[in-house]
Structure 1
Amino acid sequence: MKRLCKIFMLLSSIGLFTGQAVAQQNIQFSQYIFNTLSVNPAYAGYKEEWFAQLALRNQWVGIQGAPKTGQISIDGILDPQTTKHGVGVQITSDKLGPQSSSSVTLNYAFRIQLDGADTRRLSFGLGVGAAQYGLNGNALTSVDGGDGTIPTGGSSKISPDFRAGVFYTTPYWYIGVSALNLLNNSKSVEDYRRSAGIADNITRTRHLYFVAGSLVNVSTDLRIRPSMMIREDFKGPTNADFNIMAIFNDKIWLGGGYRTSIKAFKKEYQNTDVTSQAALIGIAQFYVNERFRIGYSYDYAISKLNGYQSGTHEITVGIAFGKAPKSSICPRVF
């Protein structure tokens, strides 16, 4: 059964023999709400202090070749007095069965102050970088021997990465739109079959992200933070995350979320049966002190995949350093 699950996962993720989209989906983090830089370059410098985060995600535990992702990011501001210029860097490593990818992205955000009290900011962000995509042909077995579309040994490709975003924030709500992998575009099936380099076809497709959230002060000791993220690649199902967190004494965060896939636009895949990727998510975060926090999340699949794996684990560690922000909006919860 594990072997069958592995084959199903590989075929659905890279589409080697199905004739569907052959490009790879962007990685996902359940705890994106703690570091929106992973999906929007305009977020760089939002906290108005230097902030570093480590995220480790082990998805679908129990399935051979299931996704494993690690990411390190650092962002902050270049001008502490005006806080107009935010910068950030991300280093990401991802592995899914025979596929692997590593990327480095540099982000810049220009932050515009919209009121005298500096409670509202509009940021425009750009990100540039490079990603190396690889495929281990030895980990694939074709139905017919000698399939020319499967490389002998390993195959890899380095591709440029370009992203852009807009992020608007106030003390009590935020909204952002971004586009990632703007220079990438999946090839047609015929181009794929003719390609001598299979790594050309596992680069990630262009993605559009929409994020929004708010903060509700219930009492001096309790705040509620609902949020959502919609991810669209205009080829497969639209993904949506809905989250809500309760913040106790600005130290303990407890909450959860619901992730699902929906048919938002008319696409080719809608002529076939698409299995929902629905999951329930439990999230906890604890501030050891004002500048150091630890987070953990668990994803419980409620799709047909549930019977073949034991969930997804994700750990994040964040630390702020340097000069504390001058703004009275503290702590920053977006």
Structure 2
Amino acid sequence: MKKALLFLSLVLIVCAATAQDAEYSQFYANPIYLNPAFTGTSDQARFAINYRNQWPQQGSTFVNYAVSFDRYFPKLNGGIGAQIHNNRELNSIVEKTNLSLFYSHHIKLNPRFFFDLGLEAGMTYKQLDYDRLIFPDMINQLTGERYVGTQEIPENANLFYPDFSIGVMGQYDSFYGGISVDHLNQPDESVFIGDNRGKLPIKLTVHFGAKNYRWHRGLLSRRFTVSPNVIFQHQGAFSQLNMGLYILEKAISAGIWYRQTSGIQPESMIFMIGVMRPNFKIGYSYDIGLSKLTNYSNGAHEISLIFFTGEKHSDRDALLIPSL
């Protein structure tokens, strides 16, 4: 009985809240999801796989998958890419699959300053497994038995809609940053016809960071890179601030981030570790919750794998984004 009521509470929270995008903690391991202007910004073709399991203690409560490919084309002076993204909520009661195409154009103003303009156009299929929802009048309060409910069955349990985004990012010496705007058309995700409360709000992302090379002074002097970063996102009534620091030393990278949502309540700490080779990168991160949901959620696991293939484009300006 307690489990049924708890599950019902989660459903009501998700259905009552304004729709929001799935999030990743390894921001730069899924760069075109962060900002379409990152399309084709590596000097080789890039193939990325991303997986995130949030609240793993409760099963597959919030699970994200992403597979993407992008490449720079010298004749276009820009990049082309594609991504398939799947988001599952409440053990797949709500599932969203998106297929997007990306294009970016590279503009070089001088040897020290360049930027990219990016566009994204996609189609999304969202489905609600309504038969698995549990409502109060379906539960006998004394015995816990379940009955057939009297709720109105939604007409739009399965939705199919277009979605568009734009972005810009640039680099000046060792500093980089950008802005992206997702869901320009604010697609309607309402499950009931005529309900205008299901519009997907525009998401604004602002990100910037820097890379500096350092020497470790000591018996074993080795060169490493320090990269501080800040990412701010706002969607509907939801705001999120991420502040982090990466340290890269040859084939090893590590990072630590602090995440805070709307208000002054801290949300989580993020710890990352990765291995970097010339043709691939692999990373793992774990979110440790700092809010009152910590004991229930048990954090989040995330894994990324990136492959680089094909010839290198020597005319492509090197982008300084971190590996994770």
TM-score (norm 2): 0.85
Q: For each residue in 1:32-83, what CA deviation from the matched residue of structure 2 results, as whole angstroms up to 9, or x when unmatched? A: 123321121111111132101000111111124510110011111111xx77
Structure 1 counterpart of 2:308, from 303, 307, 320: 320
Q: CA deviation at 1:324?
A: 1.6
Contact 2:167 2:178 in 1 (8 A): yes
The match for 1:130 is 123
- Cα distance in structure 1, aligned partners of 2:66 and 2:132: 25
Q: How many residue pairs are counted as aligned between the two chains?
A: 302
Q: 1:6 to 1:243 in 2, by over 3 A?
A: farther
Q: 1:108 to 1:247 in 2, by over 3 A?
A: same
Q: CA deviation at 1:218?
A: 1.3
- Cα distance in structure 1, aligned partners of 2:274 and 2:173: 21
Contact 2:211 2:227 in 1 (8 A): yes
Structure 1 counterpart of 2:210, from 203, 207, 214: 214
- Cα distance in structure 1, aligned partners of 2:161 and 2:83: 16
1:123-272 matches, cutoff 5 A = 123-144=116-137, 145-148=149-152, 150-151=153-154, 155-184=157-186, 195-196=192-193, 204-219=200-215, 221-233=223-235, 235-249=236-250, 251-263=251-263
Q: CA deviation at 1:106?
A: 0.5
AA aligned opposite 2:245 = I
Q: CA deviation at 1:262?
A: 2.3
Q: 1:240 to 1:44 in 2, by over 3 A?
A: same
Contact 1:6 1:65 in 2 (8 A): no
- Determine if the alignment matches structure 1 residue 37 to structure 2 residue 1: no
Q: For each residue in 1:289-322, what CA deviation from the matched residue of structure 2 results, as whole angstroms up to 9, or x when unmatched? A: 2111110000111111111132210000001111
- Cα distance in structure 1, aligned partners of 2:70 and 2:301: 25
- Cα distance in structure 2, aligned partners of 1:173 and 1:127: 25
- Cα distance in structure 1, aligned partners of 2:62 and 2:154: 21
AA aligned opposite 2:232 = I
- Determine if the alignment matches structure 1 residue 92 to structure 2 residue 85: yes
Q: CA deviation at 1:10?
A: 2.5
- Cα distance in structure 1, aligned partners of 2:33 and 2:231: 12
Q: 1:26 to 1:328 in 2, by over 3 A?
A: closer
Q: 1:113 to 1:239 in 2, by over 3 A?
A: same
Q: 1:185 to 1:132 in 2, by over 3 A?
A: closer
Q: CA deviation at 1:128?
A: 0.4
- Cα distance in structure 2, aligned partners of 1:49 and 1:12: 43
Q: 1:9 to 1:244 in 2, by over 3 A?
A: farther
Q: CA deviation at 1:331?
A: 8.0
- Cα distance in structure 1, aligned partners of 2:42 and 2:157: 40
TM-score (norm 1): 0.82
Q: 1:64 to 1:14 in 2, by over 3 A?
A: farther
Q: For each residue in 1:83-117, what CA deviation from the matched residue of structure 2 results, as whole angstroms up to 9, or x when unmatched? A: 721111111011001210000110111110111x3
Unaligned runs of 5+ in 2: 138-148, 216-221
- Cα distance in structure 1, aligned partners of 2:8 and 2:266: 17
Q: 1:69 to 1:203 in 2, by over 3 A?
A: farther
Q: CA deviation at 1:123?
A: 1.1
Contact 1:85 1:111 in 2 (8 A): yes
- Determine if the alignment matches structure 1 residue 13 to structure 2 residue 14: yes
Question: 2:56 aligns to what SS in structure 1?
Answer: coil
Q: CA deviation at 1:166?
A: 0.9
Q: 1:252 to 1:109 in 2, by over 3 A?
A: same
Q: CA deviation at 1:186?
A: 5.7
- Cα distance in structure 2, aligned partners of 1:290 and 1:132: 36
The match for 2:269 is 280
AA aligned opposite 2:28 = I
Question: 2:314 aligns to what SS in structure 1?
Answer: coil
- Cα distance in structure 2, aligned partners of 1:4 and 1:306: 19
Q: For each residue in 1:239-286, what CA deviation from the matched residue of structure 2 results, as whole angstroms up to 9, or x when unmatched? A: 11111111112x2111211111124xxxxxxxxxxx957011111110
- Cα distance in structure 1, aligned partners of 2:284 and 2:97: 23
Question: 1:281 aligns to what SS in structure 2?
Answer: strand
Q: Which moved more, 1:62-71 or 1:275-284?
A: 275-284
- Cα distance in structure 2, aligned partners of 1:33 and 1:276: 25
- Determine if the alignment matches structure 1 residue 68 to structure 2 residue 63: yes
Question: 2:7 aligns to what SS in structure 1?
Answer: helix
AA aligned opposite 1:132 = Y
Q: 1:37 to 1:318 in 2, by over 3 A?
A: same
